[in-house]
């Protein structure tokens, strides 16, 4: 868990790491990986937003699966209800 007061910074760091990894992938000719990272780049923004971006998040995941079908299991996991907190 990340403390709530550091959550925005943690998401920003995650997004910056995705962008950095994307640049590295393009630089080494791994365009497939770079394109996937490009698609992932906005997800941390959706999580950090004060507004409800759940539908946007799901739409982005579904779009990723259209381009990267091997990621389908991730969307299926996301769609499952979370276990009740104990």
* 13 assigned to some structural domain: yes
% of the chain surpassing 70 pLDDT:
97
Rounded to the nearest 10 degrees, what angle do helices 31-40 and 7-27 cross at? 160
Range of the domain at 17: 4-79
* 86 assigned to some structural domain: no
* 51 assigned to some structural domain: yes
* 55 assigned to some structural domain: yes
Q: What is the pLDDT of residues 38-80, one digit of tens each?
A: 999 999 999 989 899 999 999 999 999 999 999 999 999 999 9
pLDDT of 85 strictly over 60: no
Mean of all residue pLDDT scores within the chain: 92
Report H helices in 28-82. Answer: 31-40, 43-48, 54-67, 72-79
Q: How many CB atoms lie under 10 A from the CB of residue 31?
A: 11
Class of residue 21 by CB neighbours under 10 A (exposed 0-12, middle 13-18, buried 19+): middle
* 85 assigned to some structural domain: no
Overall domain count for the chain: 1
First vs last C-alpha separation in the chain = 16
């Amino acid at each position: 868990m990340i403390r709530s007061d550091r959550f925005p910074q943690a998401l920003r760091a995650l997004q910056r790491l995705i962008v950095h990894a994307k640049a590295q992938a393009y630089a080494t000719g791994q365009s497939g990986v770079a394109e996937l990272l490009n698609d992932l780049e906005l997800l941390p923004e959706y999580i950090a937003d004060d507004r409800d971006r759940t539908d946007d998040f799901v739409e982005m995941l579904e779009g990723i699966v259209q381009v990267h079908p091997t990621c389908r299991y991730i969307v299926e996991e996301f769609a499952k209800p979370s276990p009740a907190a104990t």
